[in-house]
Structures are given as C-alpha cells and as structure tokens.
C-alpha cells in the first residue's frame, strides 16, 4: 500500500497534505472569507489613516510651528505599504478562488492555495495590528522650536533639479570656499523659485551654523521698502517699532543687527536692475565671515551685476524622464489607470510641455479630471496646433513668460525675438543667417546683430549653441501668441509637412508668413497682402509662380525661395516688389534672371549661391542694384562654368561680372566662384573685391595667379575652395610680408596637381575644417623645412598654435602623404 501511495504522491506533495490534515486547512477552505475580511479591515485602516491625516493637516495649517511626529509619519508609511500589498493580493485572489474544489474544502493546486491563504491571513493580522496602533495614537503633531529659517510651502517634491540644489547647498555651507554670492538664472516658469524654497527648507532639516535665514521676493520694479521690511521682520523689528523711522534709519538698524550674525539672505526674482543691498542696510562686509546671499533671476546679466561672478547656475528644463515624473505626480495615478490608452496619450501630452515645469503643472492640473482617452487626444491636438488655446496656458504660462519679453529694453529686441518664431520648432537657427534677416527687416539700424543675440541669450529667451541659437518651444509659443493676439499678425506653418499652401483668405492682413520646410507645390493665385513684409517659402517643392502672384505685395521686404529645386524661372511680375530688400534664390533650378528685376531698386541682399543651372544674367542688371550690400554667387552657373562668351555676365573670364560688381559702392560682402586663370586674373584686377570676399571657389587653373599675398589681403575670407588647379607655385618665400588670415576657417583642396605640402596653412590659426582629396603628389601637410624658414623670417610665427582649433580633417586618395604634422611640430 505504501508503494502505491509513493507512486501518486511525491515528498513535495506529502508535506502540504500533512499540514492540511494537521489543522492548517483553514488557509484553503476559509480563503474567500479571509479575503473579504482582509478587504474590510483594510478599509477600516484607511479610514483611520484619513482621520489622523486630517488632524495633522489642520494642525499644520493653524499652528505655524507645528509638524507631524516621526511616529505618526512612520505609521502613515506603513499603512501605505500595507494597502499596496493588499491590492496586489486582491488581484491574485480571483485566480486562487477559481482553483478551489469540493465546495471550497480542497484545491486543484494545494501548494499554491496553501501559500496564498497563509499570506492573506498574515496580512490580515498585520492590518488589524496597524489599525489598533492608529487607534492608540494620541499625539500626532508637535511644536518646533524657533529655528534659523521659516519653512516655505512647496507644492511638490523637487524633480530633476536635485543636482543644482546640492551644489548650491555646498556653496552655502562650505566655509572654506570664498563663495559669498550665488545666482540661479533661467527662463520663466522653469522652477527657480521652487529651488530657492528648497534651499530655504534645508535650513529647517539639515545641520548648519547660521543664525538666521531671511527670505524676500523682489520682482519687477522692486519695492525697496518692502524688501527692507521683510529683512527687519525676520531679525526682530516689528512694524510698530519702525513706524516712525526713515528708510535710512531702518537700514542702520539692519546693519547693526546683522553685522553680529551669520546670515543667509534669499532674494527671489531679481530682474535686470541690480539691488543695492548696502542701501537696504545689508552689511556686505560680513560675507567674509561666512554669511551668504542667494538669488534667482531670469537674466544671466543680473548675476554679474549682483556680484555672482563665479557662482552662477543655469536652471534647465527637465529631461523627458523627469518631466514625465512631474506630470505623472500632478495628474495622479487614479486618472492614468482609468483606461489602458491614457498612459501613452499622457506621455504625448507631457512632451508637448517641452520640459517646462510651469507648463507641466498647468497642463497636468487641467488633465487631472479627464478620464476618457478622447479628452487626452483632444488635448494633444490643441497643444500641437496652438498651446495658447489650451486651458490655463495663456493666463498662467504664456503671460508669465511674457514678463521677460516685456522687460526687453527696446522694440528692436522684441521684434528680433518674435522673428525667431518664424522658424520651425526645435530649429538650430544659424546666427549669421538670422542677423541677415534682422538687417534686411530694418531691426538693426541702431544696434548690432551680435548685441541683440547677446541680450536675448542673457535674458534666457534664446539658447546658445555654438554657431547657432535655439528657441525653446514654450518661448516660441509665447512669441506666436504675442504676434497673433497682442501686436503683430503672423501666419506660421513651418516644417509641418504641408503639401498645399494655406487658403488665400488666411493671408489677408498678415504681416509675416513662414511656410518654410514643407512640400508645397503651388501657391495661391493672387494674394492681397498690403501689410506683408516677410514671405519665407524656402525648402519646398514649388515649380512655378504665376506672373500675378506678387502684384499685391507692395510692402514685402524679405522673400526667400531658396531650396525649391523644381523652380526654373522667376515671373516677370516680381518687378512689383519695389520695397524688397532681401531676395534669396539659392539652391533653386532657376536658369536665368528676368530683366524686370531692375525694378528692385531697394535690394540690399541677393543670394544666387548654388543656382547651378543659371546661364543668363542680363547685362547691367547686377550693377543696377545700387543699394546692394551683400551678393552671394558661389557656384552660380556651375553647370555652364566653362562657357566663354565675350561680354556675357556669366562667362569663364568673369570680366563683365567683375566690372558690374565693382560699380556697387555699398557692397560689403561677396562670395564668388571663378573658372580658369583668366577669371582669377580679372578678379585680381579689383582689390576692392578682394577686401570684401567672404568665400572663394576656384577651379581649373593650370597656372593659378592667386598667391599668399592675395590671400592675406582678403581680410574677410572665411572659406577657400580650390579644385583641379596647379598649386606648384604656391610657396611661403614671401612669408615676411604675409599676415595671419584670422577669419579663414574652411579650406578644400581637391584634385590639385604638383602640390607637395600646404605649409601656408600656418597663416590660418583659426582653421576648423580641412579637406584634402585626390592630391596624389602631396607628401606633407606642413613641411618641417619650410616651417623652420618661416620662423626665421616671420616674428608672428612665435605665437603659432598649429591647428589648435581644427574640428574636422578629411583626407582622401593622398597616397604619398607621409605625415599630417611632423613630430617636431606637435604641441
């Protein structure tokens, strides 16, 4: 019989059966009742927790120095943990009950049912015990002793900016470092005030040796009397005691008190005007003894004005993970768990806030009651189309950001900022391109473009990025809101995938239109836009423009058609654009310019670069643009570069073109492509043109008349491209007469014969990009022998830092190249 039993029951099966027979059956046959009891006891526990929590919150609201006891806080945490465990067990409960058989007295899986039933019973006993502990609690809050700081209410735990908080706290408390004044700066709504409150609250929870922490809000148009009252109240001066005292007498009281204390002064929201702390009575000499000043501002420049020269910290927008964590906390798990589609939609909504904490909180609060997926989909559509239309965004977010816009010192800066909204979201806007637009629009008549860029970056309205700037998407939304609702009227559909232009009705009354980076093939028939000043149609698929299209755009100043490769001709009706200052036709398929362009008498900027198919430019057309300041013709007519026709503007000898360009008295920048030795010779006849050349492309010169002395005279030369030419005569024998070429940063040498080295590049100390392709005769980039001769004849070589700024080096088919730079020249 024993053998039969052992056949059907293994040792692992016998163990739970013995327990089952031995009186533990209650874990199985009582499972359903135990689960119901567990749920009931848990609900009672939650009710008790809510009673105690209400009591604690009431005390914290009514008693300024009250806080919950550590015991009750620990109990709250244990309750939350137990409730989570109960929820997890209940999810598994239905499956376990389904396994019961024989009227609930047995199970199809004894081991699993026994273990689960035991967990239910143990957790029920724990919940009952926790409830008893909660019922026994009498003291749930306690009064705090007077401390150095008064705790500030913060709506939520700081998210994503913990590292800045830690660094600021170390600056404050590290007495060995001379870091007395600390600045936090960043765009509006990014969380600077929250950070400063967290700094304040650390003095309530961390060990320190400061006597008093003072908080004051500065804001725009600072009220110095109010700041003085905030300081005085914190150090013991009542309003009554100061009632009859002058501003100067109060300042004296502050000085006499604080000079004997180790203090921290926290100033929130300082604008561009610095605060004279000495005038308020703050004794700055005590900073040497360990006192500290910490402030927040929207303007990086204010950090310098306030003395935070070394210790300034930029507060950045949140990354995707931290942004979601903040958004999730605001919305709440109840809503996010209501439907399986909502979490994914919620992530998309959070991304539309672009990491700005104020936007995340505003949108999160608005969505905290939305339990239908359709509501979340609608929110995404609204935020994508125009964030200003979303509930609370205009009043709470965009209006807050507009304070920074309003604080800009003049209308030129405001117009320049709004102009950046014409570019697509997340665009890297090339600084030089942006300044060209600003100049053509007339924004830079009294200020330089670099000054504008600096002011907007320091105001945290643009983000610095090397050769480009970026505009945060929420700043862009603010700009579009201002442009469309407050001051101007923009029509912006940049980079959104349009295949058709907006209907002609939408163009009416608009001042600036940007449809760049789309797939538009055709344009409205005849738009009537008497106010239109800017029309950006670059990088589309436009193939033809009707003659009448431009006839009702009398105020147009900027027209960009670049990147429309299918566009082969301009309509003669373009002659109607008599106010045009800026015309960009680069990277188009245009084969010729119409004679009617002569009507554009106000043209200042003309870009014909990479119009490879250009074959015909009427004589006296270029020279008729008497106000032209910038002419870009790099690779213009490249497909027809070898054609030589006497008197033709676009011909290999370039003689007619050089003469016409030379007639333009206001011209200050050109880019050119030259073909053959005669073309280069004719270019060299006009020293004025050499002085204003920014980029030069030379091709097919068997005997290149250009030399180092010519290059040295091109003080504005930034890019030099030499292809299929003979560089045999290029040497550095004239080094004593050659000066550095400080602006030259890009050089391409391609398929050039008889060139053994490029030692002349030592005169380009700021070279960033060097490409050498198909130069089989090259042995060295820098010749040691020639370099040593240079040192002997040229004093400037002593300051050489060879290729120190080089960012990109491309070498192709240079089979005889021995070394880039000889070891003796390495630094």
- Residue range 433-448, pLDDT digits in tens: 999 999 999 999 888 9
Q: What is the chain's Cα-based Rg?
A: 37
Give the DSSP letter of residue 150: P
Same fold, 162-314 and 492-825: no
Residue 596 has pLDDT above 70, yes or no: yes
Instruction: Please give the angle made by the CA atoms of 787, 789 and 792, to the nearest 5 degrees.
Output: 115
The beta-strand segments (E) located in 64-156 are 66-68, 100-101, 106-107, 141-143
Q: Read off the pLDDT band of 286 (50, 70, 90).
A: confident
Between CA 611 and CA 234 the distance in angstroms is 70
Tokens of 20: 């089952």
Residues 598, 576 contacting (CB under 8 angstroms): no
Q: Residue 562: left if φ>0, alpha if ψ -120 to 50, beta else—which one? A: beta
**Residue linked to tokens 């920014």:** 694
pLDDT of 732 over the 70 cut: no
Calculate helix-pair angle for 342-351, 373-385, nearest 10 degrees: 20
Q: Give the integer Cα–Cα distance in Å for 279 and 167.
A: 30
Segment 625-649 shows an average pLDDT of 83
- Residue that wins the pLDDT comparison between 316 and 124: 316
The 8-class DSSP code of residue 317 comes to P
Q: What is the mean pLDDT of residues 264-270?
A: 94
What angle is formed at CA 453 by the lines to CA 449 and CA 457, rounded to 5 degrees?
Answer: 170
Q: How far apart are CA 761 and CA 409, in angstroms?
A: 44
**pLDDT for the residue numbered 431:** 95
- Nearest Cα to 185, choosing from 269, 293, 299, 274? 299
| Nearest-angstrom CA–CA distance, 333 and 474 | 26
Instruction: Tell me if 234 sits within 8 A of 257, measured CB to CB.
Output: no
pLDDT at position 101 over 70: no
* 553 contacts 570 by C-beta, under 8 angstroms: no
* Tokens 């008729």 sit on residue: 624
146, pLDDT greater than 80 = no
CATH of region 492-825, choose from 3.40.50.1370, 3.30.70.1400, 3.80.10.10, 3.40.50.720: 3.80.10.10
**Sequence spans of domains, the chain:** 2-143, 162-314, 320-385, 409-483, 492-825
CA 386 – CA 394 distance, rounded (Å) = 10
φ/ψ (deg, to 5) at 576: -70, -15
**CA–CA gap between residue 674 and residue 635 (Å, rounded):** 9
Mean pLDDT, the chain, rounded, equals: 84
- pTM score of the predicted model: 0.74
Q: How far apart are CA 189 and CA 176, in angstroms?
A: 34
Residue 318 DSSP symbol: P
CA 269/CA 422 separation, integer angstroms = 30
The answer to whether residues 699 and 723 touch, using CB atoms and an 8 Å cutoff, is: yes
Phi first, then psi: give them for residue 629, nearest 5 degrees.
-110, -30
For residue 416, give the nearest of 464, 448, 387, 386 by alpha carbon: 448
Q: What are residue 106's DSSP bridge partners?
A: 101
Over residues 208-237, the pLDDT tens digits come to 889 899 999 998 778 888 999 899 888 877
Residues 6 or more apart from 410 whose CB is under 8 A from it? 447
Q: Which residue has the tokens 């907006």?
A: 502
CA distance 48 to 30: 27
Sign of CA dihedral 164, 169, 174, 175: positive
pLDDT at 727: 78
Lowest mean pLDDT of 169-178, 454-463, 619-628, 724-733, name the range.
Answer: 724-733
Residues 6+ apart with CB under 8 A from 513: 490, 491, 492, 507, 529, 532, 534, 535, 536
Instruction: Identify the band that residue 130 occupies on the pLDDT scale cut at 50, 70 and 90.
Output: confident
Task: Give the number of other CB atoms < 10 A from CB of residue 21.
Answer: 9
d(CA 558, CA 803): 39
Total residues found in the chain within this entry: 827
pLDDT category, 794, cuts 50, 70, 90? low
- Coil, strand, or helix at residue 4? helix
Predicted confidence (pLDDT) per residue in 19-38, tens digit: 444 445 555 655 666 777 77
Q: How far apart are CA 664 and CA 649, in angstroms?
A: 15
pLDDT band at 669 (very low <50, low <70, confident <90, very high): very high
CATH 3.40.50.300 describes domain 162-314: yes
Distance, CA of 492 to CA of 326 (rounded, Å): 31
The span from the first CA to the last CA of the chain, in angstroms, equals 93
Other C-beta atoms closer than 10 Å to the C-beta of 30 total 16
Instruction: Answer yes or no: CATH 1.10.10 is held by domain 409-483.
Output: yes
Report which of residues 776 and 443 the model is more confident about.
443
CA atoms within 13 A of residue 289's CA, in its CB half-sphere: 13
Q: Which residue has the higher pLDDT, 213 or 484?
A: 213
Given a cut of 70, is residue 383 above it in pLDDT?
A: yes
């Amino acid at each position: 019989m024993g053998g039969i039993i052992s056949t059907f029951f293994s040792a692992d099966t016998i163990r739970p059966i013995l327990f089952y027979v031995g009186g533990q059956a209650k874990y199985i046959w009582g499972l359903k009742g135990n689960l119901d009891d567990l749920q009931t006891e848990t609900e009672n526990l939650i009710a008790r927790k809510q009673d105690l929590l209400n009591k604690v919150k009431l005390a914290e609201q009514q008693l300024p120095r009250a806080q919950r006891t550590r015991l009750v806080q620990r109990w709250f945490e244990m309750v939350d943990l137990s409730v989570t465990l109960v929820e997890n067990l209940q999810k598994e409960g239905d499956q376990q009950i389904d396994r019961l058989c024989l009227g609930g007295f047995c199970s199809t899986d004894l081991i699993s049912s026994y273990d689960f039933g035991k967990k239910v019973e143990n957790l029920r006993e724990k919940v009952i015990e926790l409830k008893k502990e909660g019922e026994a609690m009498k003291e749930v809050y306690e009064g705090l002793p007077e401390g150095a700081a008064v705790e500030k209410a913060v709506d939520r735990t700081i998210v994503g900016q913990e590292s800045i908080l830690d660094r600021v706290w170390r600056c404050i408390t590290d007495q060995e470092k001379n870091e007395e004044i600390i600045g936090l700066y960043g765009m509006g709504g990014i969380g600077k005030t929250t950070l400063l409150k967290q700094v304040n609250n650390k003095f309530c929870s961390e060990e320190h040796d400061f006597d008093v922490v003072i908080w004051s809000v500065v804001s725009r148009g600072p009220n110095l009397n109010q700041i003085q009252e905030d300081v005085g109240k914190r150090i013991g001066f009542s309003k009554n005691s100061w009632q009859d005292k002058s501003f100067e007498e109060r300042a004296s009281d502050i000085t006499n008190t604080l000079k004997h204390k180790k203090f921290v002064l926290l100033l929130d929201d300082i604008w561009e005007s610095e605060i004279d702390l000495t005038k308020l009575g703050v004794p700055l000499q005590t900073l040497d003894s360990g006192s500290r000043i910490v402030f927040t501002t929207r303007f990086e420049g204010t950090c310098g004005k306030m003395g935070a020269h070394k210790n300034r910290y930029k507060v950045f927008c949140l990354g995707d993970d931290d942004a979601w964590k903040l958004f999730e906390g605001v919305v709440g798990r109840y809503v996010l768990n209501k439907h399986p589609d909502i979490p994914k939609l919620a992530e998309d909504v959070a991304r539309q806030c672009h990491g700005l904490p104020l936007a995340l909180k505003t949108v999160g609060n608005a969505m905290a009651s939305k339990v239908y997926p359709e509501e979340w989909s609608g929110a995404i559509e609204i935020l994508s189309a125009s964030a200003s239309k979303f509930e609370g965004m205009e009043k709470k977010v965009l209006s807050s950001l507009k304070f920074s816009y309003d604080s800009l010192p003049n209308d030129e800066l405001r117009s320049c900022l709004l102009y950046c909204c014409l570019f697509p979201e997340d665009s890297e806007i090339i600084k030089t391109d942006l300044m060209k637009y600003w100049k053509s629009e007339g924004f830079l008549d009294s200020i330089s473009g670099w000054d504008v860029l600096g002011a907007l970056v320091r105001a945290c309205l643009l983000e610095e990025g090397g050769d480009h700037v970026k505009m945060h998407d929420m700043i862009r939304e603010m700009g579009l809101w201002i442009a469309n609702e407050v001051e101007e009227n923009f029509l912006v559909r940049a980079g959104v995938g349009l295949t058709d232009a907006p209907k002609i009705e939408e163009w009416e009354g608009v001042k600036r239109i940007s449809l760049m980076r789309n797939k538009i093939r055709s344009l409205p028939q005849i738009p009537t836009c008497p106010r239109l000043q800017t029309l950006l149609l670059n990088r589309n698929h436009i193939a033809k423009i009707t003659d009448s299209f431009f006839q009702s755009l009398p105020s147009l100043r900027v027209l960009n058609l670049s990147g429309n490769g299918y566009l082969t001709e301009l309509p003669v009706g373009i002659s109607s654009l008599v106010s045009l200052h800026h015309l960009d036709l680069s990277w188009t398929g245009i084969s010729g310019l119409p004679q009617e362009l002569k009507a554009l008498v106000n043209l200042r900027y003309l870009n014909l670069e990479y119009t490879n198919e250009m074959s015909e430019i009427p004589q006296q057309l270029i020279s008729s643009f008497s106000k032209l300041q910038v002419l870009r013709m790099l690779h213009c007519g490249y497909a027809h570069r070898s054609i030589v026709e006497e008197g033709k503007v676009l011909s290999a000898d370039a003689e007619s073109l050089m003469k016409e360009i030379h007639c333009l008295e206001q011209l200050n920048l050109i880019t050119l492509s030259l073909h053959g030795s005669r073309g280069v010779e004719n270019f060299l006849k006009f020293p004025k043109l050499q002085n204003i050349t920014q980029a030069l492309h030379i091709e097919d010169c068997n005997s290149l008349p250009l030399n180092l002395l010519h290059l040295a005279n091109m003080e504005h030369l930034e890019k030099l491209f030499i292809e299929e030419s003979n560089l045999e005569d290029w040497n550095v024998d004239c080094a004593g007469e050659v000066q550095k070429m400080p602006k030259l940063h890009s050089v391409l040498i391609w398929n050039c014969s008889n060139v053994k080295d490029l030692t002349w590049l030592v005169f380009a100390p700021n070279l960033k990009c060097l490409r050498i392709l198909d130069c089989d005769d090259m042995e060295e980039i820098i010749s040691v022998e020639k370099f040593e001769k240079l040192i002997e004849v040229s004093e400037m070589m002593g300051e050489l830092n060879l290729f120190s700024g080089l960012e990109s080096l491309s070498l192709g088919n240079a089979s005889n190249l021995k070394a880039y730079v000889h070891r003796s020249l390495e630094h």
